[in-house]
Amino acid sequence: FLHRHTIFPLLTLLTMVTATVLNQPPSPLAPTATLPLPATWTHRPILLRTASSGEFQKVTNESSITNINCGYPLGVPFNFESDLFQGKILFRVRGLGASHDKQSDEDYFKGRKRVFQTVIQGKFKKEIPVRDLMFGMESTKPLKAKPPVLINKGITALLKKVSPDVEMDLLSDTPFVLTTFAGGAQTIRVDNPGCEPDILSRDIQEENRGFGQLFMKENASSAKRKKILSNPKFAADYVFNDVMVYTFDQYDDVFDLAKYKMKFGRVVSIGMDRVMDEPHQVFAKTRGGEYLWNFEIWHERLYCKYCGEENQAADDDDQEIFVTPETSDMK
């Protein structure tokens, strides 16, 4: 439930409506001294890099395509390692002409509404309780328009009913929405080493018998696994061990990273640079604050806002890099 399909669109609409009604000014922008010029980005208008809080994390590929100054690869996997996890990660963005494997991306997105995919595969370096691993959204500064207290309470109550383990605070100067990772990821595989799937596969199937207990007798559906592991009473009985290989497949059909817009159906779209002043996040962390991985995706629209420059990427029709294939009703 608490994936980009739901919480991010909800927050987007909420902040925009609140800003309009209350006529709130935007929060001040942070400095961009550490951001390279967009002209140097390998995947312009997108820059994928380790988040500013990711000193713990290193990319271990020896290939020159993992140059942090130009951005990490899109469309092909690359290796990374942290104190708690070692593996590889794949980012796919629909309509990105600068992908390292454009044909593979087109094959993956063909006939689907999806606009973004992240696949993470690897091994935990030590046993971590399932309930201890969280993901979601967090910010180092306030939302542009904080929701009224009553609306915030209503959203919190609603999300708690659907995902009892959710933790959120939209009113603080460092807002966040976090929930159990295993209860939110679309697809999870638990495989013996050597039996894990190729993360470039078009379809990665759920395989959760490796969790044991309620999952031991038969492979549960993704929906059932989410229901069980998003409940703190059940999740407390499970762990991510340091023996098996885990594959996490997450995808989105709302947040169009190539255009930096939220799309609601075929008609309504909202530029995310109007709502958020920080890059898109892909992370997992323990409740104690230790990150297993932490990547951020910048868009030129956001960079231009930070630098006070005219946004050259404002009109999608003027950018040849935006090639959006036709979509169908397939997932």
Say how far apart CA 47 and CA 300 lie, in whole Å.
Answer: 8
Tokens of 138: 């967090």
Site of tokens 């395989």: 207
Condensed to tens digits (0 to 9), the pLDDT of residues 53-72 reads 667 788 876 554 556 568 89
The mean pLDDT of the chain is 80
Helices 149-162 + 7-22 axis angle, to 10: 170
Residue segments in the chain with a per-residue pLDDT below the cut of 70: 1-33, 53-54, 61-69, 144-145, 275, 305-331
Smallest Cα–Cα separation from 134: which of 162, 176, 81?
Answer: 176
- Written as six digits, the tokens of 300 are 């030129």
Question: Percent of the chain scored above 70 by pLDDT?
Answer: 77
Which tokens sit at 86? 């070692």
Q: What are phi and psi of 239, to 5 degrees?
A: -140, 155
